[in-house]
């Protein structure tokens, strides 16, 4: 079975973890600091603040905005529910704008229509490894006086016109097990704002700058040195991993370009895609539906993933929530019914890429 993702660690990671164990420093310490420095360099920001997971990164980034009851965060409904959960955790109200199918991210024109006097934060999601249209969303935020918080959980090292995802506002990243860079669980917040970075570091440490000297109501959002030890060696070879993903994506695009009814993802002009996922959509002219394609691939030894089967608000716990405002998002609703992610990870061999292509073509009758 060719899995949708692959998790493996080399001897370099084993050595780093063993070094941490032998050092006796396993909580937040020097290796977290090294990871922060290296990740800030990857993104192109002055600061990177490590936390214990990607959801925490979003929660903390919103918490330092001092949002008040009635304040709104505008985001996409086509995302993992952590995006929505973080908004609700902050005490704000969530409002949604539709997506553009070309990049699966916020449609700037629809977002502009949904901004109102209560909107305080614009929260785009850089989905599948490609950024949202920050060339349009950043001016929108600036013109309306909005803070930009980027959900870049899947976009480590992605770029828009040379700028890194996570450098347009407060960038929030996940290091969950299946991400391009992983610490099993972990997250990072990136920013160029010295004061915000300082506040985040105090917030994550129970509100302490020094032991038992409390400056604010805080949280325990700390990353451990054991977690950082997993990522440090990966960070050193990350560019090579992304190149492997790009080669795999191009091979998939070449092998599937003439399959009727199958819409393939692409790296849009001016954007640097890191191919966390290779997500296809089935058109109205497809001979089968998405679920049938997934089942036929499984029968042929190819795993796949549905990210995501429904819009984030399309569950009872959110539809009935008083701080979730639901408006029509037809593109997101449609894409959620038609999307399927194929394996594109760096561990794939050329033979496995050929097997994926053959399986999709057979399943689609091409």
DSSP string across 34-84 = HHHHHHHHHHT-SEEEEES-HHHHHHHHHHTTT--TT-EEEE-SSS-THHH
Instruction: Look at residue 251 in the predicted model and tell me its pLDDT.
Output: 98
DSSP 186-241: -EEEEES-HHHHHHHHHHHBTTEEETTEE-S---B-PPPHHHHHHHHHHHHTHHHH
Q: Strand 170-174's sheet: what is its strand order?
A: 47-51, 187-191, 170-174, 147-151, 119-123, 72-75, 93-96, 324-325
Strands 339-342 and 72-75: unpaired
**Calpha distance 42→33 (Å, rounded):** 14
75 pairs with which residues across the strands? 96, 123
Q: In this structure, what token pair is assigned to residue 26?
A: 């396993």
Instruction: Report yes or no: 246 and 275 within 8 Å, Cβ to Cβ.
Output: yes
Pseudo-torsion of CA 258, 259, 260, 265, nearest 10°?
Answer: -90
Instruction: Report yes or no: 84 and 313 within 8 Å, Cβ to Cβ.
Output: yes
Rounded (5°) CA angle 245-249-253: 170
DSSP tag of 288: S
Instruction: Look at residue 366 in the predicted model and tell me its pLDDT.
Output: 84
* CB half-sphere exposure, 254, CA atoms < 13 A: 9
DSSP tag of 265: P
Taking 70 as the pLDDT cut, the residues of the chain under it are none
Q: Which residues contact 75 (CB under 8 A, 6 or more apart)?
A: 83, 84, 87, 94, 95, 96, 97, 106, 122, 123, 124, 125, 151
In this prediction the pTM is 0.97
Q: Strand 339-342's sheet: what is its strand order?
A: 262-263, 278-282, 339-342
Instruction: Look at residue 56 in the predicted model and tell me its pLDDT.
Output: 98
Instruction: Look at residue 167 in the predicted model and tell me its pLDDT.
Output: 98
Mean confidence (pLDDT) of the chain: 97
Instruction: Look at residue 47 in the predicted model and tell me its pLDDT.
Output: 98
Q: Which residues contact 81 (CB under 8 A, 6 or more apart)?
A: 312, 315, 318
Q: Strand 159-160's sheet: what is its strand order?
A: 163-164, 159-160, 271-272
My answer on whether omega of the bond before 308 falls inside 30° of 0, hence cis, is yes
Q: Helix 30-43 and helix 225-236: axis angle, to 10°?
A: 40
Output phi, psi for 273, to 5 deg. Answer: -85, 135
Output phi, psi for 340, to 5 deg. Answer: -150, 130
338-349 as b/e: b if 16+ CB within 10 A: bbbbbbbbbebe
Output phi, psi for 92, to 5 deg. Answer: -85, 175
């Amino acid at each position: 079975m060719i899995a949708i993702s692959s998790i493996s660690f080399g001897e370099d990671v084993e050595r780093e973890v063993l070094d941490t164990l032998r050092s006796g420093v396993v909580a937040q310490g020097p290796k977290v600091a090294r990871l922060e420095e290296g990740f800030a360099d990857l993104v192109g920001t002055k600061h990177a603040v490590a936390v214990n997971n990607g959801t925490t990164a979003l929660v903390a980034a919103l918490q330092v905005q001092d949002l008040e009851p009635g304040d709104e965060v505008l985001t996409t409904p086509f995302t993992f529910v952590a995006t929505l959960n973080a908004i609700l955790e902050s005490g704000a109200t969530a409002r949604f704008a539709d997506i553009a199918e070309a990049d699966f991210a916020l449609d700037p024109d629809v977002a502009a229509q949904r901004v109102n006097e209560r909107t305080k934060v614009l929260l785009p999601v850089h989905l599948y490894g490609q950024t949202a249209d920050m060339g349009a969303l950043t001016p929108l935020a600036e013109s309306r006086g909005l803070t930009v918080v980027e959900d870049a959980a899947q976009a480590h090292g992605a770029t828009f016109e040379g700028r890194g995802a996570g450098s347009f506002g407060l960038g929030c990243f996940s290091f969950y097990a299946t991400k391009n860079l992983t610490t099993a669980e972990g997250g990072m917040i990136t920013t160029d704002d010295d004061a915000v970075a300082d506040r985040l570091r105090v917030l994550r440490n129970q509100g302490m700058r020094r032991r038992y000297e409390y400056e604010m109501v805080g949280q325990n959002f700390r990353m451990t040195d054991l977690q950082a030890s997993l990522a440090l060696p990966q960070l050193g070879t990350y560019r090579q991993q992304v190149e492997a993903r790009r080669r795999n994506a191009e091979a998939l695009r070449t092998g599937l370009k003439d399959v009727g009814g199958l819409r393939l993802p692409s790296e849009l002009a001016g954007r640097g895609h890191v191919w966390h996922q290779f997500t296809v959509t089935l058109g109205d002219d497809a001979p089968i539906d998405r679920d049938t394609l997934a089942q036929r691939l499984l029968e042929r030894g190819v795993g796949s993933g549905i990210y995501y089967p429904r819009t984030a608000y399309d569950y009872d716990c959110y539809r009935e929530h008083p701080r979730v405002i639901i408006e029509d998002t037809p593109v997101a609703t449609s894409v959620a019914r038609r999307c399927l992610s194929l394996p594109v990870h760096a561990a794939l061999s050329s033979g496995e890429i050929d097997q994926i292509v053959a399986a999709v073509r057979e399943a689609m009758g091409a």
